[in-house]
Structure 1
Amino acid sequence: MPPTLASLVHHSALNLTVRAGGDRLDVPVRWAHTSELADPVPYMEGGELLLVTALKLNAEDPDAMDRYVRRLAGAGVVGLGFAVGVNYEDIPKALVDAAEREDLPLLEVPRRTPFLAIVKAVSAAIAADQYRAVTDGFAAQRELTRQTLSDGPEGLLAALAAQVDGWAALYDASGAVVALAPEWANRRAARLIPDVERLRDRPAPASAVVGGPDHEDRVELHSIGTGRRPRAALAVGTAAALGTAERYAVHSAIALLTLTAERSRSLHAAEQRIGTAVLRMLLAGEPDHARAVAGDLYGELLDAPFRVLVAEGTTALDSHTELLESAAARSGEAVLVVREGDRLVALAADGGAAVGACAEYASAGEEGDLVVGLSAPAGPMGAGAAYKQAEQALSVARRRGRLLVEHEQLAAGSVVPLLADDAVRAFADGLLRALREHDATGRGDLVESLRAWLSRHGQWDAAAADLGVHRHTLRYRMRRVEEILGRSLDDPDARMELWLALKATPPE
């Protein structure tokens, strides 16, 4: 620890005597400085032990001493050393009283103790403290490295928490807590997730200090990774600001986690190449070859029903990839993600965390240009069909302006919403245009008559009753429809096309 006034008073070679402020001797001393100026405050930084002989001070004037001591205390001077037997045989009472009122430690320096000896003692103690800090820092670095090699990030965090006498947490790229030490800090780490997310949006390396009424301690946040986007974040919580040795330990932990993250990124790139090969084999109808290549990496994924996910976007694919991979990693399940330009293709366990994360993304309605299509559950033999299902669901999601569409929803729903398409509307307008032009002249209501007749499956009496006309009038109108369109209503294809055109253009 750094030198204090108490350690200087107890220094046997200095023979210092406390004359005032004896209850504040535990204050650290940053330096010892000699000044005979009447006002040395402009040259002080705070934390100094000021040494004087009162050569230019009227040390017997109470008012002058009150102003002098008040200025020193306000500037952060931690103590005043007064040399007796030089200009004054004893410390004047005015100075002692002023020091007592300001609670500023006042030390009597005997004539046989040179100021230089005090300066050397402070300097030596500071140097020794710095040496201990550096030595402790290197020892902490060795311990952190050993724990990282033996137990991974979990071991590193446990060692770091012990070094700083606090707690430490590691967050993944999505902002979720992936490792923590000790366990009692779980709730504190969870409360920092919004701060971690804000840190993630800043270019790496980035750091922030969090504290205040909402936190029990002082917390430092540091981004992990060398890329444009941080791959993780480290939180370190302590009761007070970090000392030199603790700072060495934190920096060592950041370096080790960065190396681990970069190594993981290289392994991840290799895994992605394997995943791409597995996906291509599945889509080519070669499940046996795909399983052989997948091995232990993706074999578990192919042993159970999975879903194919296809996503498109220009700005949110990276974050969605992190969302899928982080969710799968936290649940211990495999997920295969392949990036193809502005498109992302993924295989995820049916009912697993990655598929659940997609559903949460859609329900949250987050802003962005990402659109997702999800297939029905499938196995390796049905991967090709599942991929087509995901693409169909993606197309519907894009057309309907939805974030996520599952293929099963299409099969369970109605075909009518699929008609909400510009191309379908253009077809409907073209098919019905001649009838609408006829109706516009006031010579009949052929469009609504056709709608009623088709809705009643060609039953004349029921359709005529719906329209409030005689059935012979309706028969005449349907003949006019056939003449104008040049198509027979006995043709089932014609009836189907006309009905779809009417459904695509609701009644005016």
Structure 2
Amino acid sequence: MDITLGNLLVLEPAIVAAGNSDVVPNGTRGCASRTVSWAVTARTTAPHLPPLRGGEVLIIPIRVTREVGQELPALLREAALRDVSAVIFAADDPRAGELHPKSTEIPVLQWNGELTADTETVINRLLTECRGNLYRLGTELERQLADASASHSGIETLAQVVSHSSGLPLTVVDPLGRRLISPAETANDADAPVNDRGGVDPFVTRALPSGAEVKLGPLWPVQFVLARFLIDRIAVAAIGALQRDDAARPRGSRRGEATARLLTANTGSARDQRAAALALGLDPDAVFFVVLSREAGESDLTRALSPLGTLHPAGGTNGQRTTLVAAQGRPPAESLSSRVVEVKRRWEKDHNPDGPSLALSAPAFGVARIAAAAKEAEFVASLQTQAQFARRAASFESLEDVGAMRLLYQLRDSNELRQFIAEALGPLETRDHRGTLRATLRAFLESGGSQVAASHKLGIHRNTLAYRLRRIGELVGRDVGDPGSWLTLHVAIRASEMLDLAANDG
């Protein structure tokens, strides 16, 4: 149960580093890493050094420095030869302040206050209590870790055990730098530990044989002693937990089913979603895409989507495949957009206009966004079933692909949108059972109000078109030939079609 000089400066605020000392609170380099066993006090009479075994902090009161006089540097050299970790002087001791850094081979500390006969007792009581607490917490943690191992628990349970028993935040990072488990975000940033300790890393870290890494932190200064005491126990437990997670990972058809559940948000809370992602070997904080494809082969999909990341099949029916794509690393938004553009370009180039389709969601940043991304991909796929939608590869994020439908999609569940449609179209929706009049209105609007172009597009006579437009005007209660009404009618008709698609998919 090693306690270092760096730890001691945190545990006992009255002890500070002297100007000629490089001891940093909780530091791990240089003299700060020296182990402290006990505190002892120098004597006023020879021999001035008490019996020493190594690792002691030697308290030198003012009465001793007066008695030793010019031989003080020699006394410090002898203490260094006998493995004393540091010496403590009173802050107001003038002789201690005269020491030159090169004249000592031992760290010099100061006691802010009066050095009394009880100072040694105060420090030793502190060291004893600290070691007792470490032993108690270490024993309890080992018991809980053994219980977790016996119940075949994974890394998620390990993090809960560590947090509950020690209060230390645990992060586990895989060999690729992806966070497998991380502490909950601090509710109040003002309460978060700040790295203002002279460059001291606010984490205590251990590398695992697999290349993964275990981190405790960010830590408050008083937590470092405990973190360094427990880190090796936690690292050993993490090795076993990661192996159990890997053994329990779904494979084959079970993996596809588990991935599909992740896409439908049937995994419960955000914490459950992270656990489900970890069980699949996915980074919960990765960037994901959900892709729906119709009439596309597996090899075709792999070749097309590999620039986006790693593919994870999520099942499919009736010729439609659902795929979850996990991007490698944390690519910037510009890089993601350019990759999507390239995927679509290649798909359009390699397939006929009436060939297989590809519908991509917008990037989903983190596992909590996957279910929403799946709905986006489903929406794009539903647009591709419409005859007027020409793109065989389309992304929800692309304005060129989905246009204003992306904005309407955000309002799909709102009463305001339904009210807008009802006011703009009147009884047209309920009277037009076969959808002929709505298709006519859309063709007319998309032809810029040209009856010639609209009749040609619909394949009907101009007189038939004129009759339908008059009938539409009667139902919507406005002149459809008035350009001032076109925007309202066009938005309403597209929104109505979107809701029809959603109803049919449901």
* TM superposition score category, shorter chain reference: 0.3 to 0.5
| Higher radius of gyration, 1 or 2 | 1
Give TM-score, length-normalised by structure 1.
Answer: 0.35
Give TM-score, length-normalised by structure 2.
Answer: 0.35
